[in-house]
Structure 1
Amino acid sequence: MERRKSIFKKLKAQFYILIFFLLFLALFPICFSICVPIYLFRFIVTMARKVFRRDLGNLINTRSAVIATDNASDNPKWNLCVWITLDGNLDFVQFRQTFLHDIVLETNSKGELVNPEYQQYYAKWLGFLFWKWEKAFDIREHMKYYFENLKGGSYLEKVTTNKELRQIIKGLTSEPFGHEKSPWEFLFIPNFREEDDHSAPAPTTESNKSVLIFRVHHGFCDGYAILWLLLKRLNKVGLERVAKPAKLPKGRGRTWRVLLNRIFSWLRAPYDFMTLMVESKDKNEWHLSQETLERPFNTAFTPRIPLKYIKEIKNGNNVSFTSVIMAALTASIRNSMIERGAKVPRKMTTAVAVPMPGHPDKLRNHFIFSFMSLPVGVSDPKKRLMKIEKNYKKLKQSSVNLFSFLMIPVFGGLFTWMIDWFSFNHFSTVLTSNFPGPAESMHFIAGGNNNKVLDINFSAGMGTGNVGVGFCMMSYAHGMRIIASADKNILPTDEAVEELNVKIEEELKVLRNLHCGNTTV
């Protein structure tokens, strides 16, 4: 009976894939005929703004426009937060002046601002998104002490615990940016304590730590651009110390064979895309409507996990680093659903941020979101890991990645109301974003104190759509920390998300024990 059900589901899925593919082929000429006039009108609007709207800057580029339609000043769903833990207190006033003169006011050989976006915000005109100048830009509105509204100068002495930091990050992932203000800011927290409460002795000059938070809306730039800013521009750390996206595969062999393969790939790519869409549509108890989702999501951080530990699992099982992480996340979801009495589906889809090669040294978005199946229904840890490895290889080799990358500017050039429809994630329950940071430890020189960087972490909003669970992670030096987030209707408290993280650590131990015996993270 179960076998018949499985066969029926597969046949049903193939039927839908074929129908959608045929519809794509039939509607493509019609869509093309509709889009061309829109792109022509977009060009006319661009020229007209020079005469009628001199207060506007350039059009927001098409790759960023697909995210910038999210309103950064009203219930934003695409905020990014990167925070750096420093040894000692940063000279924040000096850092603010350095950033203003070296980055915000930087000009090229023609005397033009290199990055005018730091003084601009998103504005809509005639159906398209432009950059618009702030009326009275003030660097102090974008770079400030987090607690500077405390009475007197007490914000300089206030001690902040790790528990308080978690709540700060949790709030910032959904907090709106100022109205008619550029959607970015640096927030500084001096006197940081890594303990969860105030019972430990107050930090001394020798034991002092501080936290620098860079918060930005995703329409402003992506994670790689943030790394480029924080590492290369501010601290002269070359990005060769950061793992880069793999180059897109090139055809090999005779010219005619390569040409035929490329033609076949282009014919196959739309079919593969429709297959991905059909197979990625989730239906489970954790797949909630956007109207049901409540922000900010509950949030918890794992301890720093040694990269060496994950690599041992990777090498022992002959799988990729990413597959080990994904296997631990999948097991944590499965075990949490079982613990809470939720029905465990055969699979659950995660949206995966895929950085693309050739990222420009600018404030840009240069990535795609794809989808990957997490086999939450598989109970055996080894089989689950190997299934994830298979799915991850499929993701990396898929023709959909290049197809999606080339199609994003097509959608990003349309009217904003059209972009909203295309950019809504109806499919996945989970979102995963994992990008590598510096392989070796570094110092933060931009503040003048040459502070040693102790840790770098990353968290984000889960975007528009039905995502109710998210995992963000960024490696630094020889470790990484996983930031888990979940909607209140799925995991009702921060403590419940903390339990999810514990299950991640437990699964890593299980995977380690498959070939190395008992150990600890």
Structure 2
Amino acid sequence: MTVILRTIYIAVCCILLVIFTIFTLPWRFFVYILARIWKPELQDFATGISRIFSGTVQFGNLLPLNTTTVLTVEGYLDLENFRGLFHKRVLQKRNKNGGLVFGRFYEIITFFMGYPFWTKEKNFNLANHIETYDYRSEGIDCFDENRLKEYLSDLKKKHWDKQSSYWKITLIHNYNGKAQTLIIMTWQHSLGDGFSMKNVLECMFLGDKGHQNSDHKNNIYESDSSIISLSQIFLRLTICWEALKSVLLFPYESARFKEEVARTEVALWEINTNAGEDEYHFNFTKPFPVDSIKSVRAKFSVGFQTVLNSALTAGLEKALKKCKQPITTGKILIDSSKPRLPHPEGLTNHFFFGNLCVPLTATSPQDRLLQTERSYQAQRTSNIPLGFHYALQTASLLPGNLPFVCGSFLHQFVHMVFTSFPYFGKIDLEGCAVSDLFTVFAGPHPSSHLTALATGSPNQVKFGLSLRKCVSSLPSEFLEILRLCIEEEMERFLSLGDC
């Protein structure tokens, strides 16, 4: 009975959201006309997930939804040469129509009559976005891993300048006292998702050989022929049917999922409500070879992410037990997003939100792998991500804070955020090899205080970990304990592939 009531509640909320949005569309069109007349510099509306992530806090600052990718390059990178390379390969890269592929790097979001618009940054200066960090001027003799973690934590506390595009690249030389250069790239999530930034890195490292999306048709609606074949018509109808089915089944499947995980919605740690939620501890694991992960995947017929997720949850269980934390649930709820494919070129937020309920405790590594794989399979066939996507797209058309108010009924409690970006093979920058790569993320989810993100290079994967400092029931060194436990469990899982 509870599932039926939840289904009715979600369905009614979705219907009211659509009706309310339709009634506001004339006003939205009127605002657009006024913007064309009075503010011609305003280009187009910020919509979708970018709209959701462009919200401001009470003091007018952008939400702290920042992603940071750290690359270790063997050799010395000159600042001016790097700026010139980035300008040529990324900022000036154009598509087949002559438009800038990554034009969002020049833009900011500004509000007009309650609606967010993309507009050009005034007096754009590349020197403000790409710079070096002279740690010696602060009395630091050696910039090592511990300094890097502190630097990342301080970086997340800085607010974005609303008049400047929301990205920054910092070069740090002589990392670990060696002839190495760190490239630290940070961006606000309204600018683009991780797959967009992977395309940026491909262009930066591979030049004209990378990011060939602009030279290939990645849309099923494109055709070299003016005649639409029966197979194309069938494919379009199939996509329309899948979208309609997702919308119709979304309320029921969402209600059923909420009912199934209701007993799991128990906090794993206590929070200091007086502490800020935009301060983080950061850490990262050692790299793990991709070939070994693929061996485990092939042996147990599970997904690549399943192996990573299993090692992560096993490490979390061990770390909580080491810190003598009571584990009140055998399951853990994870927000695990997935890309919408094919991913378009340029800077976009083109992904689905998805929820997983995976084992926090398990009788054996094999059992954990199989249970986690079943969760991923359920997510792949679920209509919740697509239905949630359409609801967010609809809510993003509303002005002011209404997208957040009207979308509150979609909220799902999760313990943590876990996702992964595709890893790189061997890459180099002007002859200097990239020997390491990892990414950390400051997540937007109010209940998720722990975030793990997996990516890497060359042909290796690392976990980037972040934990909000407002977590009061865990020791300050918990993230270091978690890192060690994940490494131990990952080695344990990889050994299964060698058996």
TM-score (norm 1): 0.81
Quote the Cα distance in structure 1 between the aligned partners of 2:117 and 2:62: 20
Q: Which residue of 1 aligns with 2:137?
A: 150
Q: SS of the counterpart of 1:428?
A: coil
Q: Which residue of 1 aligns with 2:480?
A: 498
Q: SS of the counterpart of 1:130?
A: strand
**Within-5 A mapping of 1:78-157:** 78-100=65-87, 103-104=90-91, 115-147=102-134, 150=137
Q: 2:196 aligns with which of 222, 225, 234?
A: 225
Quote the Cα distance in structure 2 between the aligned partners of 1:268 and 1:127: 33
Maintained 8 Å contact 1:70/1:78: no
The one-letter code matched in structure 2 to 1:374 is: V
Maintained 8 Å contact 1:378/1:384: yes
* Deviation of the 1:22 alpha carbon: 1.3
Quote the Cα distance in structure 1 between the aligned partners of 2:89 and 2:107: 17
Maintained 8 Å contact 2:314/2:361: no
Deviations 1:68-95 (A, max 9, x none): 2155973743101112211101122122
Q: Which residue of 2 aligns with 1:330?
A: 313
* Deviation of the 1:373 alpha carbon: 0.8
Quote the Cα distance in structure 1 between the aligned partners of 2:497 and 2:428: 37
Q: SS of the counterpart of 1:173?
A: helix
Maintained 8 Å contact 2:352/2:386: no
**Within-5 A mapping of 1:204-283:** 208-232=179-203, 235-236=206-207, 237-239=209-211, 266-280=247-261, 282-283=265-266
The one-letter code matched in structure 2 to 1:461 is: A
Quote the Cα distance in structure 2 between the aligned partners of 1:442 and 1:19: 54
* Deviation of the 1:38 alpha carbon: 1.8
Q: 1:49 aligns with which of 35, 57, 72?
A: 35
Q: Is 1:358 equivalent to 2:342 in the alignment? A: yes
Q: 1:318 aligns with which of 296, 301, 305?
A: 301
Maintained 8 Å contact 1:88/1:210: yes
* Deviation of the 1:482 alpha carbon: 0.8
Q: Is 1:19 equivalent to 2:19 in the alignment? A: no
Deviations 1:103-158 (A, max 9, x none): 4466789987665432332222211111244343222111111238938xx99xx6
CA change 1:299–1:148 in 2 (3 A) is: closer
Maintained 8 Å contact 1:299/1:494: no
Q: Which residue of 2 aligns with 1:10?
A: none
Quote the Cα distance in structure 2 between the aligned partners of 1:289 and 1:420: 24
Q: Which residue of 2 aligns with 1:12?
A: none
The one-letter code matched in structure 2 to 1:502 is: L
Q: Which residue of 2 aligns with 1:39?
A: 25
Quote the Cα distance in structure 2 between the aligned partners of 1:53 and 1:254: 41
Q: 1:58 aligns with which of 44, 65, 82?
A: 44
The one-letter code matched in structure 1 to 2:347 is: L
Give unpaired runs (5+ residues) of structure 2.
Answer: 221-230
Q: 84-93 or 103-112, which moves further after superposition?
A: 103-112
Maintained 8 Å contact 2:331/2:360: yes
* Deviation of the 1:341 alpha carbon: 2.9
* Deviation of the 1:466 alpha carbon: 1.4
Q: Is 1:508 equivalent to 2:490 in the alignment? A: yes
Q: 79-88 or 67-76, which moves further after superposition?
A: 67-76
Q: 214-223 or 412-421, which moves further after superposition?
A: 412-421
Quote the Cα distance in structure 2 between the aligned partners of 1:92 and 1:337: 43
Quote the Cα distance in structure 1 between the aligned partners of 2:206 and 2:464: 25
Quote the Cα distance in structure 1 between the aligned partners of 2:158 and 2:235: 55
Quote the Cα distance in structure 2 between the aligned partners of 1:425 and 1:261: 23
* Deviation of the 1:493 alpha carbon: 5.6
Q: Is 1:181 equivalent to 2:168 in the alignment? A: no
Deviations 1:27-80 (A, max 9, x none): 444332211122232222122112122343322132311112155973743101
CA change 1:73–1:234 in 2 (3 A) is: farther
Q: 1:442 aligns with which of 416, 420, 427?
A: 427
Maintained 8 Å contact 2:333/2:355: yes
* Deviation of the 1:279 alpha carbon: 4.1
Q: Which residue of 1 aligns with 2:451?
A: 470
Deviations 1:405-436 (A, max 9, x none): 33332122122412234379551110012111
TM-score (norm 2): 0.84
Q: SS of the counterpart of 1:363?
A: coil
Quote the Cα distance in structure 2 between the aligned partners of 1:81 and 1:336: 25
CA change 1:231–1:280 in 2 (3 A) is: farther
Deviations 1:180-235 (A, max 9, x none): 22111111111112xxxxxxxx53xxxx1101111100000111111111113553
**Within-5 A mapping of 1:484-495:** 484-488=465-469, 489=471, 492=474, 495=477
Maintained 8 Å contact 1:491/1:497: no
Quote the Cα distance in structure 2 between the aligned partners of 1:468 and 1:259: 37
Q: SS of the counterpart of 2:451?
A: strand
CA change 1:40–1:149 in 2 (3 A) is: farther
Q: Which residue of 2 aligns with 1:7?
A: none
Q: 32-41 or 184-193, which moves further after superposition?
A: 32-41
Q: 56-65 or 473-482, which moves further after superposition?
A: 56-65
Q: Which residue of 1 aligns with 2:357?
A: 373
The one-letter code matched in structure 1 to 2:455 is: M
Give unpaired runs (5+ residues) of structure 1.
Answer: 1-14, 194-201
Q: Which residue of 2 aligns with 1:411?
A: 395
Quote the Cα distance in structure 1 between the aligned partners of 2:99 and 2:376: 44
Q: SS of the counterpart of 2:421?
A: strand
Maintained 8 Å contact 1:347/1:374: yes
CA change 1:475–1:26 in 2 (3 A) is: same
Quote the Cα distance in structure 1 between the aligned partners of 2:219 and 2:3: 29
Q: Which residue of 2 aligns with 1:160?
A: 143
Q: Is 1:309 equivalent to 2:292 in the alignment? A: yes
The one-letter code matched in structure 1 to 2:210 is: G
Q: Which residue of 1 aligns with 2:441?
A: 460
CA change 1:182–1:279 in 2 (3 A) is: farther
* Deviation of the 1:247 alpha carbon: 11
Q: Is 1:398 equivalent to 2:369 in the alignment? A: no
Maintained 8 Å contact 1:174/1:461: no
Q: 490-499 or 226-235, which moves further after superposition?
A: 490-499
* Deviation of the 1:326 alpha carbon: 1.0
Maintained 8 Å contact 1:353/1:433: yes
CA change 1:26–1:44 in 2 (3 A) is: same
Q: 384-393 or 163-172, which moves further after superposition?
A: 163-172
Q: 393-402 or 487-496, which moves further after superposition?
A: 487-496
